[in-house]
Amino acid sequence: MKLDKLIETLKSKRGYLKKGPHAISNIFKVSINDASLAMLEAKSQLRNENTSENKITEFDTYLKNNRIDVNDVKSVKFWQTSKGEQRFSVVTGSDNNIEEIKKDIEEFAASYSPEVPKIKYKKSDKPRIALEISLPDIHYGKLTDLSIEEAELQFLSTIFNLVDKASGLNIELIILPIGNDGMNSEGLRLTTTAGTPQHDSTGWRETFRGYCKLMTTAINWLKTIAPVQVIIVQGNHDFERMFYAGDFLNGWYRHDNNVLIDNGLSTRKYFKYGVNMLMFTHGDKEKTSDLPLIMATEEPLMFASSKFREAHCGHYHKEMVNEYRGVKVRFIPSICANDDWHKTMGYEALRAGQAYIWGYETGLEGFLQSNVNDRV
């Protein structure tokens, strides 16, 4: 039963309102969350009808202001502030149009994509190297002590510093995994993908445009050094929007032979460089010790033809490394500043960016680190 019809049923048959959400859920075959929402809204509307027929409920106002049809509401998460005030966040079922949105974004970006000539890079007799620059969990748009401009500067400065430290190496390829909670929220609803409320410093349109512009700025600079392989990794804060950002970049660089974008549908991405096999995943869903077997199962030929294998993850904002039967699993640190909630909870980790040096024939040669100061 649709949410609006359930609300009207509860209003017309008020005896149901004396029952609990579990009973309503069983009777009308809806989720507990929808049952709670419908009961709350029905009671609110009945109270308003007794005082003023023209009074609009808080929930209706929220839907109207955000241009959300009540029938598109997928779920509603309720919580209470420390002052006892009731709050809610709405998750819509907009996933139904994902292919249409994907096509629109890519075509829009492609319309602005110029023809770019292949850059002639300098050749060297030094051993072949791929430089992986990994900066997960930047949470673009997150409300911290830094302005967006300061956070952007720290991101770019970290990349510049890591590349500068790699000078002298024969870098024939730059591997750039992006995303991994690249954006702090899913946008309009100001929550994570699962519905946990977030505090952003600016609007959802501005954060999407700002993030895409920041990534193109970084990619455009990196491709002057070596071809860039961009790998899109979806996080738990930006699972939907990171996919859209990936298609934007895919369209933007459609005619640029110096940049390749991997925005495949799988949440786990794989890349092989010489004897090296790399898996990229956010790391919030899989059991860490299972990642080597997942690698071998999903990409058996790549697994068999490689000698050095690693899985690179984000999510925890701190460095953690373990090894399972010869396969290393790395959780990579973040440069993201803490917000008030993380400070209150006492969460603290070294803010740092890292780059990994992969030898085409020799495996991991080492890594570089750029530590981030509290202020720019």
**Could you give the angle at the alpha carbon of 207 between the alpha carbons of 280 and 236, nearest 5°?**
35
* pLDDT greater than 80 at residue 120: yes
Q: Which amino acid makes up residue 41?
A: E
Nearest to 269 by CA among 180, 358, 336, 353: 180
To the nearest 10 degrees (0 to 180), the angle between helices 32-51 and 3-12 is 50
Report pLDDT digits (tens) over 223-280.
Answer: 999 999 999 999 999 999 999 999 999 999 998 999 999 999 999 999 999 999 999 9
SS3 at position 141 = coil
Q: Is residue 86 within 8 Å of 59, Cβ to Cβ?
A: no
**How confident is the model at residue 271, as a pLDDT?**
98
**How confident is the model at residue 282, as a pLDDT?**
96
Q: Pairing mode, if any, of strands 228-233 and 86-92?
A: unpaired
Give the integer Cα–Cα distance in Å for 330 and 324.
11
For 61, residues 6+ apart whose C-beta sits below 8 A from its C-beta are none
Q: How is residue 207 written in tokens?
A: 């954060």
**How confident is the model at residue 305, as a pLDDT?**
97
* pLDDT greater than 70 at residue 286: yes
pTM exceeds 0.85 for this model: no
Which CATH number fits the domain 96-371, given the four candidates 3.40.50.12280, 3.40.50.300, 3.50.50.60, 3.60.21.10? 3.60.21.10
pLDDT band at 26 (very low <50, low <70, confident <90, very high): confident
Higher pLDDT, 274 or 85: 274
* pLDDT greater than 90 at residue 206: yes
Report pLDDT digits (tens) over 72-83.
Answer: 776 666 554 444
Q: How is residue 340 written in tokens?
A: 């008030």
Domain boundaries, the chain: 3-92, 96-371
Report pLDDT digits (tens) over 129-184.
Answer: 999 999 999 999 999 989 999 999 999 999 999 999 999 999 999 999 999 999 99
* pLDDT greater than 90 at residue 344: no
Residue range 29-44: average pLDDT? 78
Q: What is the pLDDT of the chain when averaged over all its residues?
A: 86
SS3 at position 282 = coil
Residue written as token pair 């002639």: 120
